Structure 1
Amino acid sequence: MPILMNPVGYVRSTRTTPDDDGWGAIPAHIELDPDQFGPDALLGLADFSHVEVLFHFHATEAAPETGARRPRGNPDWPRVGIFAQRAKDRPNRIGATLCRILSVHGTTLKVAGLDAIHGTPVLDIKPVMKDFLPRDEVHEPEWAKELMRHYW
């Protein structure tokens, strides 16, 4: 059954290519769709430090991956399934990132740490609440730590 979604807004950023690293230094704006939302949609969001942004990897040209591969094609890393990595060529092209809120003005949300390029459709914005974060210790394989070393 197909699921249809309309973007709630779009990313505005100086970053126009989906390169793998260096995302932390580039602030981004999320502009809500003015036909759907007024400033009340973001009311109270500035009281939070972070948001989770769900977005669509709209500029990905590779065929969706459905099996296993080496992350970033690195032969030193193990083959892992697409659901054991956060690659952009996923089956439904959905990205999710926790971002720091820099400011809220009208229908524009300015964030830091959003790994989405200019024009990216935003599907949803959720406040980050401690009780929705993992309650147990988070662990990950060494290849993931190495991959993330220069990501932000």
Structure 2
Amino acid sequence: MTTYEVEAIATVVGGHTRVQDDYQGGVESVIRFNEAYPLETLQGIEAFSHLTVTWRFHQARPEDVQLHARSPRGNPKWPATGTFVHRNHRRPNQLAISYPRLLGVDGRDLAVTDLDAVDGTPILDVAPYFEQLGPRGPIRQPVWPGEMLATYWEDAAGRPEC
């Protein structure tokens, strides 16, 4: 297999302090770019409402990867699906993509909300979200993702105590 070396361009500062499945909404954090990048690399980004952010599940371990079919979140009422049908840290490269809302820009700091990464997460790439590059045509998916993610974007302040 071909391998690639990728360096983090930024880090998540603040926001979520622990990994959780649901109640991701309403939490503000900062995507802080490394000083190696000139300020002009962000010029014009404030004109966009949302970003496309690629990040790494940095708290995951290589042994977390699961290359087999399993029920999402271990719930037997949902069908067993393969590794590449899940969107979690059990995937081989342990990468995620999120679409947070951009609240503001201060130098190399991008203030965002609804970024479902935790404090300290390495950011591999940031781009503005272009509506024209979103999905084309009708969206199709089975019922289980809607059931599983029913409370995913609920406000974190309403999270029940565990």
Q: TM-score, normalised by structure 1?
A: 0.94
1:81-121 Cα shifts (integer Å, max 9, x gaps) = 12112112211011001111111110001111111001000
Q: Counterpart amino acid of 1:50?
A: H
Residue equivalent to 2:116? 115
Q: Counterparts of 2:22 and 2:64 in 1: how far apart (Å)?
A: 21
Q: Counterpart amino acid of 1:54?
A: T
Q: Counterpart amino acid of 1:46?
A: E
The 5 Å alignment of 1:44-123 reads 44-61=44-61, 63-123=64-124
SS at match of 1:151: coil
Q: Counterparts of 1:28 and 1:139 in 2: how far apart (Å)?
A: 32
Unaligned segments of structure 2, at least 5 residues: 154-162
- Whose strand proportion is higher, 1 or 2? 1
> 1:41 touches 1:107 (CA, 8 Å); kept in 2?
no
> 2:49 touches 2:101 (CA, 8 Å); kept in 1?
yes
> 1:38 touches 1:106 (CA, 8 Å); kept in 2?
no
Unaligned segments of structure 1, at least 5 residues: none
Identical pairs, percent: 34
Q: Counterpart amino acid of 1:122?
A: I
SS at match of 2:51: strand
Q: Counterparts of 1:90 and 1:13 in 2: how far apart (Å)?
A: 25
Q: Counterparts of 1:96 and 1:128 in 2: how far apart (Å)?
A: 12
Aligned residues: 151
> 1:26 touches 1:113 (CA, 8 Å); kept in 2?
yes
Q: TM-score, normalised by structure 2?
A: 0.89
